[in-house]
């Protein structure tokens, strides 16, 4: 079909586009796109997030915990997704890994859950790397390669990696093997730029604090900014990977 052909051509050039993009030096912006990352903890007593109020308060995107391991789905993931779309907030969905369990099974579990809510306005898949489950760096590095490869095969998109400098240097041996994947870095240093681990040439998202006050969210929350040196945020949210799964 013509749509499948177009999708495959897009995927063929995507690595080249990403490589060129990662080579761009980040530039400062007076008002970069901003958004929180949330999980069930941002739903005290099970109450909803008011995403319309968050949007009115300046939120452009949000990164939502979707899955963990092979048996946990954030109970608010689907309601948050629906409310974010209604409010015009771009959505990212992240997987929290268990490095002592099978990566391919976790990749499939994540993709199946996120795929049911996928549409235009979805940011690339995200792997949240911040707990080692007692595994050494060699195991974590191998696990990550396998999960990232599997998710890329299933979705046609290049996943984003979330990491903080301290964890990456100690638990992932400051590995420089993942530069082809965009970086979401967590660094609450209060300065003008984050500490970037692993020799990454740049960051796409930066988690600047863990105690921001954002309208519509009733508890303090992580706040993130997007790096406009990588082009309009909307480009990242409009890759049609929801089509590619059906054409494989």
Residues serving a catalytic function are 37, 130
Give the span between the Cα atoms of 229 and 240, in whole angstroms.
Answer: 22
CB burial of residue 13 (10 Å; 0-12, 13-18, 19+): exposed
Give the span between the Cα atoms of 185 and 206, in whole angstroms.
Answer: 5
Give the span between the Cα atoms of 67 and 96, in whole angstroms.
Answer: 6
204-235 as b/e: b if 16+ CB within 10 A: bbbbbeeeeebebbeeebbbbbbbebbeebee
Distances (CA, A) of 212 to 46, 169, 205: 20, 26, 16
């Amino acid at each position: 079909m013509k749509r499948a052909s177009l999708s495959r051509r897009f995927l063929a050039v995507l690595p080249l586009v990403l490589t060129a993009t990662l080579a761009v030096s980040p530039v400062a912006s007076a008002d970069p796109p901003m958004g929180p990352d949330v999980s069930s903890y941002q739903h005290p007593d099970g109450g909803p997030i008011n995403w319309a109020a968050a949007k009115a308060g300046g939120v452009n995107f949000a990164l939502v915990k979707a899955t963990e391991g092979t048996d946990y789905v954030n109970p608010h993931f689907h309601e948050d997704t629906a409310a974010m779309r209604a409010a015009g907030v771009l959505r990212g969905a992240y997987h929290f890994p268990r490095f002592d369990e099978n990566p391919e099974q976790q990749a499939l579990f994540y993709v199946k859950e996120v795929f049911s809510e996928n549409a235009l306005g979805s940011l690339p898949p995200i792997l949240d790397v911040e707990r080692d489950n007692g595994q050494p760096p060699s195991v974590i590095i191998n696990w990550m390669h396998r999960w990232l490869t599997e998710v890329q095969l299933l979705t046609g998109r290049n996943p984003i990696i979330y990491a903080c400098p301290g964890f990456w240097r100690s638990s992932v041996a400051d590995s420089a093997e993942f530069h082809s994947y965009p970086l979401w870095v967590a660094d609450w240093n209060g300065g003008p730029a984050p500490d970037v681990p692993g020799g990454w040439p740049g960051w796409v998202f930066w988690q600047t604090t863990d105690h921001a006050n954002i309208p519509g969210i009733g508890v303090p929350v992580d706040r993130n900014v997007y790096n406009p040196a990588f082009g309009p945020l909307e480009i990242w949210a409009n890759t049609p990977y929801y089509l590619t799964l059906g054409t494989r």
